[in-house]
Structure 1
Amino acid sequence: MDVVGGPAADDEGPAAVEVVPLTEPADGIPPVVDTAEALAEVVEAFGNGTGPVAVDAERASGYRYGQRTYLVQLRREGAGTALIDPVALPDLSALSEALVGVEWVLHAASQDLPGLAEQGLRASRVFDTELAARLLGMERVGLAAVVAETLGLGLAKEHSAVDWSTRPLPLEWLRYAALDVELLVPVREILAERLAAAGKAEWAAQEFEAERTAAPPAPRVEPWRRVSGLHAVRDARRLAVVRELWETRDANARQRDISPGRVLPDHAIVAAAQALPRTVPQLVALPQFAGKGTRRRATLWQSAIDRALALPERELPSVRGPRSDAPPPPRAWADRDPDAAARLAAARAVVATTSQAWNVPAENLLQPDLLRRLCWSPPVPADLEAVRAALVAGGARPWQVDLMAPLLTPTIGVRAS
Structure 2
Amino acid sequence: MQPPVWIDRYAALERLAGQLLREAQVAVDTESNSLYAYQEQVCLIQISTAEKDYLIDPLAIDSLDPLAGVFSRAEIEKIFHAAEYDVICLKRDFGFEIHHLFDTMHASRILGRENVGLAGILEQEFQIELNKQYQRANWGRRPLPPEMLAYARLDSHYLIDLRARLEAELRQRGRWELAQEDFCRLENTEVPPQENGNAVWRIPGAHDLNATQLAVLKSLVQYRDQQARMANLPVFKVLSNQVLFEIARSLPQTRPALENLGMLNGRLLQRHGDALLQAVQRGLREPPLTRAHNPRPSDAYLTRLDALRSWRKQTAESLQVPSDVVLPRDVLEWIAQSCPATLEELRGLMNTIPWRFQNFGSEILRIIRP
Calculate the TM-score normalised by the size of structure 2: 0.89
CA deviation vs aligned residue, 1:4-46 (integer Å, no higher than 9, x gap): xxxxxxxxxxxxxxxxxxxxxx11344x322234334433443
Corresponding residue SS for 1:77: coil
* Pair 1:245 & 2:220 matched: yes
CA contact (8 A) 2:200 2:206 kept: no
Q: Taking structure 1 as reference, are residues 286 and 234 closer, same or farther at Cα in structure 2, changes over 3 Å only? A: same
Structure 2: how far apart are the matches of 1:55 and 1:62? 21
Structure 2: how far apart are the matches of 1:272 and 1:365? 45
* Pair 1:159 & 2:134 matched: yes
Structure 2: how far apart are the matches of 1:75 and 1:82? 6
**Structure 2 runs not aligned, ≥5 long:** none
Corresponding residue SS for 1:27: coil
Q: Taking structure 1 as reference, are residues 145 and 291 closer, same or farther at Cα in structure 2, changes over 3 Å only? A: farther
Size of the alignment, in residue pairs?
A: 366
* Pair 1:226 & 2:186 matched: no
Structure 1: how far apart are the matches of 2:159 and 2:313? 31
Q: Taking structure 1 as reference, are residues 168 and 203 closer, same or farther at Cα in structure 2, changes over 3 Å only? A: same
Q: Taking structure 1 as reference, are residues 403 and 227 closer, same or farther at Cα in structure 2, changes over 3 Å only? A: farther
**Structure 1 runs not aligned, ≥5 long:** 1-25, 329-335
Tell me which amino acid in the other structure corresponds to 1:399: W
Corresponding residue SS for 1:193: helix
Equivalent in 30, 37, 47 of residue 57 of structure 1: 30
Equivalent in 298, 302, 327 of residue 366 of structure 1: 327
Q: Taking structure 1 as reference, are residues 28 and 406 closer, same or farther at Cα in structure 2, changes over 3 Å only? A: same
Q: Taking structure 1 as reference, are residues 305 and 405 closer, same or farther at Cα in structure 2, changes over 3 Å only? A: farther
CA contact (8 A) 2:88 2:190 kept: no
Corresponding residue SS for 2:24: strand
Equivalent in 304, 322, 340 of residue 343 of structure 1: 304
Cross-structure match for 2:357: 401
Structure 2: how far apart are the matches of 1:389 and 1:108? 28
Deviation at 1:74, TM superposition (A): 0.8
* Pair 1:260 & 2:232 matched: no
Structure 1: how far apart are the matches of 2:277 and 2:360? 53
CA contact (8 A) 1:57 1:73 kept: yes
Structure 2: how far apart are the matches of 1:34 and 1:291? 43
Structure 1: how far apart are the matches of 2:46 and 2:127? 23
Deviation at 1:370, TM superposition (A): 4.2
Structure 1: how far apart are the matches of 2:144 and 2:305? 51
Give RMSD over aligned pairs: 2.5
Equivalent in 254, 263, 267 of residue 288 of structure 1: 263
Structure 2: how far apart are the matches of 1:369 and 1:42? 39
Structure 2: how far apart are the matches of 1:363 and 1:291? 48
Corresponding residue SS for 1:156: coil
Structure 2: how far apart are the matches of 1:152 and 1:141? 15
Deviation at 1:138, TM superposition (A): 1.2
Moved more, 178-187 or 249-258: 249-258
Give me the identity figure in percent. 30
Cross-structure match for 2:343: 384
Q: Taking structure 1 as reference, are residues 109 and 98 closer, same or farther at Cα in structure 2, changes over 3 Å only? A: closer
Structure 2: how far apart are the matches of 1:41 and 1:293? 50
Corresponding residue SS for 1:130: helix
**1:169-248 correspondence runs (5 A):** 169-219=144-194, 222-231=198-207, 233-248=208-223
Q: Taking structure 1 as reference, are residues 355 and 43 closer, same or farther at Cα in structure 2, changes over 3 Å only? A: same
**1:84-103 correspondence runs (5 A):** 84-97=56-69, 100=73, 101-103=75-77
Structure 2: how far apart are the matches of 1:152 and 1:290? 47
Tell me which amino acid in the other structure corresponds to 1:261: F
Q: Taking structure 1 as reference, are residues 55 and 294 closer, same or farther at Cα in structure 2, changes over 3 Å only? A: farther
* Pair 1:355 & 2:329 matched: no
Deviation at 1:121, TM superposition (A): 4.4
Equivalent in 30, 35, 46 of residue 73 of structure 1: 46
Cross-structure match for 2:102: 127
Deviation at 1:349, TM superposition (A): 1.6
Q: Taking structure 1 as reference, are residues 324 and 84 closer, same or farther at Cα in structure 2, changes over 3 Å only? A: farther
Cross-structure match for 1:331: none
Corresponding residue SS for 1:155: coil
CA contact (8 A) 2:78 2:100 kept: yes
CA contact (8 A) 1:90 1:119 kept: no
Tell me which amino acid in the other structure corresponds to 1:379: C
CA deviation vs aligned residue, 1:42-100 (integer Å, no higher than 9, x gap): 3344345x43111110011112123310111111134x111111011141121333563
CA contact (8 A) 2:43 2:140 kept: yes
CA deviation vs aligned residue, 1:87-139 (integer Å, no higher than 9, x gap): 11141121333563311111111101222232354433211111111111111
Tell me which amino acid in the other structure corresponds to 2:363: L
Structure 2: how far apart are the matches of 1:123 and 1:141? 23
Structure 2: how far apart are the matches of 1:290 and 1:324? 40
CA contact (8 A) 2:10 2:62 kept: no
Structure 1: how far apart are the matches of 2:62 and 2:181? 31
